[in-house]
Amino acid sequence: MKIKAVDFFCSIGGMTYGFREAGINVIAGIDIDNSCKETYEFNNPGSKFIQADVMDLSFEDLKKQTGIEENDDNLVFIGCSPCQFWSIINTVKTKSEKTKNLLTDFQRFVEHFKPGYVVVENVPGILKKAEESGLNNFIRMLEEGGKYKVDKGIINANHHGVPQKRKRFSLIASRVNKQISLPIPEKENRPTVKDFIGTENGFEKIPNNHKDETDFIHTTAKLSDKNYLRLKNTKKNGGSRCDWADNTDLQLECYKKSPTGFSDIYGRMSWDTPAPTITTKFHSISNGRFGHPSENRAISLREGATLQTFPKKYVFKEKSIGKVAKHVGNAVPPELAFRIAKQII
């Protein structure tokens, strides 16, 4: 393939891996977090990891490190910037405020280099706040004077081979192919949890607080005694914290007066439905429906990565459970990336 790409905000390489599997040469990935470097380069040999803040990276430095040139019809720029600030999840935005304008920083590289293709993936909230997030200005820049054909929308990754209810804003644009479009969603055969994890998929039964020292990292976080009892009293295959709402010893203080509310926390996944969105806290049952469907534990690191469609051979070099979970949750599912790359090809 003549097509080559640069993956901005590459993290550990979910987008890079999917593009490479489709046949596109990913020259480099750029990320400010150097803890991603070893995992990125180990699993994507030949794709260079550039540790840099895009706010400070110059055009000349990028050209020097990658060999790319302006106005290359066969060049793809991928921009999946950190998106916590624009998430619709009601969390404190203080830490993520400094990264809220990264789409605008990515835009200056697109404007300067004018690659043949542009791909963006972000949370749906960036579309809901399209003016504040800089998305409207980014799209205007692409479409001005008919330079780029743009297709955009909210994609549910489950409609594209990923066993998750994972909705994301996606954009694909080209100045050399006016027929470009996002992949068509599948109406049937949408994958579920049982298609990816479980003993029949190579995941042996393990206990809570299991440590797997191999590269398979079928490792689980430790549950407190009370959280273990909570999960034990949660019905298998899709149960929720409502199953023990009347147990005064187990019920959470914040729900004793008003038991309704966010019911996914402390819940179990269901075998026959897609998993919830795999977040950066998927190793913790108190942060979502991350309980194993039938075992009394949270899903393991490898199970979370597999539900993200990372292949089982993908090696995560970080030693910390929390760090691996963060890297996996922040990644673009490689299968979705693969299908977007196929649209370009």
Q: Report the Cα–Cα distance between both ends of the chain, in Å, rounded.
A: 9
Q: What is the DSSP string of 306-317?
A: HHTT--TTPPP-
Question: Closest Cα partner for 157 from 190, 126, 119?
Answer: 190
What is the spatial distance between Cα 98 and Cα 83, in angstroms, rounded to a whole number?
11
Q: Which residues are catalytic?
A: 83
Q: Give the distance, in angstroms, between the CA of residue 224 and the centroid of all CA atoms in the same chain.
A: 28
Closest to 275 measured CA to CA, from 244, 243, 306: 306
Q: Do 344 and 3 touch, CB atoms closer than 8 A?
A: yes
Give dist(CA 107, CA 6) in Å, integer: 14
How far, in whole angstroms, is CA 235 from its chain's centroid? 28
Is beta strand 167-174 parallel, antiparallel or unpaired with respect to 117-122?
A: antiparallel
Q: Could you give the C-alpha distances from 42 to 36, 203, 320, in angstroms and in order?
A: 10, 24, 18
What are the phi and psi torsion angles at 48 (to 5°)?
-80, 135
Q: Which of 166, 158, 59, 90 is nearest to 121 (CA)?
A: 166
Q: From 271, 265, 272, select the one nearest 250 (Cα to Cα).
A: 265
